[in-house]
Chain A
Amino acid sequence: MKLIAAMSGGVDSAVAAARAVEAGHDVIGVHLALSSNPQKYRSGARGCCTIEDSHDARRAADVIGIPFYIWDMAEEFHKGVVENFLSEYQSGRTPNPCLRCNEKIKFEAVLDRAKALGFDGVVTGHYAITKDSPTGKTLHRAADIDKDQSYVLAVLRTDQIEGAIFPLGDTVKTDTRKEAKERGLFVANKPDSHDICFVPSGDNAGWLRERLGSETGDIVDQAGKKLGEHKGAYTYTIGQRRGLALTVPDPTGEPRYVLKIEPKSNTVVVGSHDALAVSTISATPPTWCGPIPEINKTLRGFAQVRAHGAPLACDYKFDGTNLIANLDEPVFGLATGQALVIYDNDRVVGSGTICETI
């Protein structure tokens, strides 16, 4: 096949590209420039937007022996990922930008461009497995469960998965590093990226404050009684306990947690740990990585609600609009805006953005 290898400058995508070449594919390396002004991130040297990373990606492509180009996806990234990130926070939700990047950039903008140029698919260094099935390709958890990235890929439609090649799905990360070293790829020891790539300082709250302002508002209890003040509701996360600076102590002496962020009234609601418990999760709009379940039919599966969260046994159903999961055991401190991903053992059934929790 003729493939585009998306190369971030990290070890995973470099080894993935090398394996695709070795498998006999005709591969071209592409580094995605996601910031319209990469220079400003020069000192950051983290994430996927730096000069150092584009250099590392080029060097890896040269060592592998494939052509290499830079694709400017800054505009698409800003529209599809950064703006969405901001508007989700403004709406009181906690978004996952990596998931949006997979959905809108790597397996939409890049895949579409690749196809228009006559390529068959996009190779990435994601840890996930695809399998052929009678209804098309399906998405599964990686062999290395600690590195499994099926959660951030679950947002892909079947046609997007058809164009996705994940050569590292069967590999554990330590072996990837070892293989990179054996292949002479100097990125072998490059540290993993953890932060949000367009927040180079790692200071998410500060970055949001700069862009959304820091309008003060009330911190209230569930009855609406004012307990303190906050500087920008969106800098809080559901389940957060520290840094609330409440002036009115709880009568029982129990610690209080952020339960809810209400952007319209600009208030942060706090309460006891018990009040964080969530048993029913609704997510919309659902994306199905395979056949669409029969409407209102209750099925058994596992729900995952965080990038590296544990699978939670549940009943789930599709009511025609939302994907709804009823957990066997409650989960605590769940933010809307994150993805609900349903698994049938290791297979991704579908996903949606969490819109309501009860």
Chain B
Amino acid sequence: MSGIYLDHAATTPMLENAIAAMDAQLRTLGNPSSLHTQGRHTRKDVEDAREILAKELDCLASEIIFTASGTEANNTAIKGIYWQQKSLGKNVVVISSIEHHATLDPAAWLAEHEGAEVIHAPVTRDGVIDLEFLRKLVASRGSEIALISIMHANNETGAIQPIAEVVKIAGDIPVHTDAAQSFKKIPLSFKSLGVMALSISAHKIGGPLGIGVLVLRRGVEIPALLHGGGQEREIRSGTLNAPAIVALATAAQDKSYDADAIAKIRDDFAKRVTQVVPGSFVNAINANRLPGIVNVTFPGTQSDTLLLLMDGEKVSCSTGSACSAGVHRPSHVLMAMGHDEISAMSSLRFSFGRTSTQADCDGALDVLPSVITRGRAASGV
């Protein structure tokens, strides 16, 4: 499939060495929980992978809990920590207003079914959490807060969140962070961030789909979502997905992601897009951002139409959010940053990755002006 792929934040090509590692493991017989030779062999591969990941995440190997996705890691952490804290009489869940649905929705579920009060912390115009709000909230209601969950970097704008500051403000309050977008893109250390829990997802870094990790501080025991064999600290059950785990560890060790080079392409794109499409502007421009993400508003357009037109020009990008039936919705992230509905629905995310080239950037910019012209015409009817 040819074309220009600018949606690396959705998923990025799998690394060849990760594919090779997965392929080899798929050919290896053995359930890692079995006690015989084959089982022990697979168990060793899984535990090697766990140690590699612990090194990459700067955590203890025993702090790694394998899940089937980043979403599952978030659900396990948010619901589990909430239930544990609720038994201590705390029911306030603090999240940011720019979280991914994998955080927003478990929090909303807790409010609907488990008596949680969810507080959405506001962000600045540049999409960075309002620390002053958080400080005041913790000062006034700290004893009621069960957990704070704030993403490490935003998936739509790339804005990096000051998690270490959040942890400082939180004090004894458990903090979870969704690091699905930032892992391997910017430095990430579980230990230095000081959070209780952190989620990542393999397919965002060139690993396979269907595998995620919850890093949960040693000694913390939370109720499980999935009950069964108790494979992962009794917090997560299910036969360990050895091929995916091994491939994830391989991807995590890969050094080919050149953040500087990707940021250079991204910056060039961001600069020139506002030149070739007058009136357009980059969101979260003043924030410290991930190297690969740029979010642009094109006033007078509808981004689902733009996506159709870009797709027709063989350029793949993203509109932000859609409901389960696929209906385009205004981005809650951009709305939280002060956009109105119309403006939030006229924005596109372009995300660059390991395989992105300057030619991709140039090619996208070549077709954008005509796409925007047609998109504006269509939104007028």
Contact = CB atoms under 8 A, between A and B. Distances in A.
Given A33-B327, A58-B326, A116-B374, A71 B304 contact: yes
Contacts, number: 54
A344 interface: no
Contact of B323 (A38, A71, A112): A38
Interface in A260-291: none
B377 A54 contact: no
A249 interface: no
B192 interface: no
A113 interface: yes
Interface in B138-193: none
Contacts of A115: 381
Nearest to A71: B304
For A50, A112, A117, A118, the residue with the greatest tally of chain B CB atoms inside 10 Å of its CB is A117
B359 interface: no
Nearest to B328: A72
A1 B46 CA distance: 55
B75 interface: no
B325 A39 contact: yes
A113 B326 contact: no
B311 A70 contact: no
B290 interface: no
B309 interface: yes
Contact of A51 (B304, B312, B324): B324
Contacts of B322: 70
A71 B327 CA distance: 7
B304 A72 contact: yes
A238 B364 CA distance: 60
A116 B304 contact: no
A332 interface: no
Given A112-B381, A116-B380, A54 B326 contact: yes
B308 A38 contact: no
A39 B105 CA distance: 15
Interface residues of A, number: 22
A243 B304 CA distance: 48
B305 interface: yes
Interface in A41-71: 50-51, 54, 58, 67, 69-71
B10 interface: no
Nearest to A109: B381
B5 to A, nearest CB: 16
Contact of A33 (B308, B325, B378): B325
Interface string B342-381: 0000000000000000000000000000000010011011
Interface string A147-171: 0000000000000000000000000
A74 B326 CA distance: 13
A118 B325 contact: no
A58 to B, nearest CB: 7
Contacts of A112: 381
Contact of B378 (A28, A67, A116): A116
B377 A116 contact: yes
A39 B329 CA distance: 14
A28 B308 contact: yes
Contacts of A54: 325-326
A117 B324 contact: no
A100 interface: no
Interface string A10-39: 000000000000000000100101000011
A159 to B, nearest CB: 14
B304 A39 contact: no
A117 B323 contact: no
Given A117-B308, A117-B378, 15 more contacts: A33-B325, A38-B325, A39-B323, A39-B324, A39-B325, A58-B326, A70-B304, A70-B322, A70-B325, A70-B326, A72-B304, A72-B328, A113-B305, A113-B378, A116-B374
Interface of B: 304-305, 307-309, 311-312, 322-328, 374, 377-378, 380-381
Q: Which 10 A-B pairs have the closest CB atoms?
A: A38-B325, A116-B378, A70-B326, A33-B327, A112-B381, A54-B325, A51-B325, A116-B377, A72-B327, A116-B381
